[in-house]
Structures are given as structure tokens and as C-alpha cells.
Structure 1
Amino acid sequence: MKILTKLTIALAIGMTCASATFADTTSPVGYWQVSTYHEPGGTPFTTQMVCLQPGNTWYSTTQHAWNGDWFQNGSLVQWYGNVPVGSITLATIGMGQLTTATTMSGEYAEWSTPQTPLSWDRHSTYVMVFQGAACPAPA
């Protein structure tokens, strides 16, 4: 019985380490669907499509001129940029973690720059789902 318990514990630790290594070595390069959710409450807010490119840049295929840079540190991924909206520019940032090779999630924010904050500056959560390696052209 003790051997079975030790074997079970060793197997659980090994699987945990293997899954952490898997996420840590997965590149986020490719085409992603980004869904954002209001905070607090979690009601759906937006769905956009983005392409994370080799060379650490990204662009949107659904929102014209929304683009920026990204970087990865293990399973942690940050993507940030801006988009012109009428007479203002919105700064955006997503800070999250690859949870599998095809999903990542975290916190997302957008705000006006360099003007004073707007009443609709947002802080949300997001989930990204991998759509494939090939990316369509920017919007």
C-alpha cells in the first residue's frame, strides 16, 4: 500500500512538472480569437481576432490599425499596443498566461492617451483561443 501511495504521488508530481514545462515552452505565435469580459461580473464584452507574429509584433484582423508588440517569459505573455479611435488613441495591454498550447487568459485594459481618462476606460479579463498558425492580413 505504501509503495502504491508513493508511486501515485511521484506520478502526480511528474505530470504537474510535465504540464508546466509544456506551457513554458509553447510559443504564442499564430492566429488567436480574443474574448474580453466585463469586470466585475464576467459578462461578455468583445471578440476580436489577432495575429501574434514572430519578431514579437502583433496586429488585429478585425479592428483597423490595432497593433503592437508582445513578449513571453515562460508561460507568461504580455501583448500591448494602441489603436486610433476617432480623435483619440486607445492604449491597450493584455497580461496573461498560456494555460495550454491553444489557450491563454489574463487581465486586459484599455484607456485613452494622452488625454484625461474617459468614462469608459475599461479593465477586463480575457481568454484567447488559438485558431491556427496562418494569419489573415491586418484589418
Structure 2
Amino acid sequence: MKMHTILDQYEWGKLIADDSNYVIAHLLDKVLIGKVAELEDKKRVAFEKALENKTLLEAHFFNERREVFVGRHDQQLVVYAPLEHTNGSEDSEPPVVLRSYAVEQNCNANGYKFLEVKEYFNYDEESHLAYVEKTVLYRLVKG
């Protein structure tokens, strides 16, 4: 199973075309945080230049449906398989916990104060212990 694809213009276009996506991008010299549709021109240009100059280290594109991670692998930027949110019934799905983390305001957060993530739990029958099976970025929250 292929776990990732090389980030090209087509893949990049898909990620920034979805207005519902939030982004957390780690550049060599800064972190960009916000909703893709709300990124100021200056930040969007910085983002594009980071791609051209190979100073984009990694980025998370996420919304209330899924998270897509872009990171470095073998000297190239690659897009990893998305992590999907599940919305099944309580009987069919493992428990889900919504957690909120404060966003440091010195990282240019565009007014966003909190990052919410969903933790999906599972249960190990053998050890009788619950564990976090996956954690998926969910949304950014202002004020």
C-alpha cells in the first residue's frame, strides 16, 4: 500500500483549493497558522516561496472531515495518506475525546487561540487497557 505521494502542483492545488481547510505550516524561519481561505496575501506568498525555496519543513491541512500531512521524505515533500474522522454510532465506533490546546500567540496565529484535536480510543482485550488509536487535528478556534 502506498503511504504517500510526492507533492506536486496538482496535489498542492487540491490542498489549498479547499476553503474549509485550516493549515499549520512549519517553515524554516516561522510557523503559519490559519484558515487557508483567510491567509493574507503576504503569508500566502511566504508559503509559496517556502515551497519553491525548499524551506517548508512540514504542513498539516485539516478540517472537520480529515487531516492531510505534508512532510519531508528522502529529500522531497510528500503528501501522506489522510487521517479521516469517523462519525459512527456509539456502539460501532470507539470512544472519541475532543481536546483543546492553546496556540502560542507568538507564532502568527491570525487570532486563533485554540487547536482542537480528536483522539480516537480503542480497547485491548488482552491487557484490558484502553489506548489512543489515532489523533487527528480537527479545527482552529478563535477567541
TM above 0.5, yes or no, is no
Of structures 1 and 2, the one with the larger relative CO (CA 8 A, separation 6+) is 1
TM score, norm. by length of structure 1:
0.29
TM score, norm. by length of structure 2:
0.28
More strand by share: 1
Structure with greater Cα Rg: 1
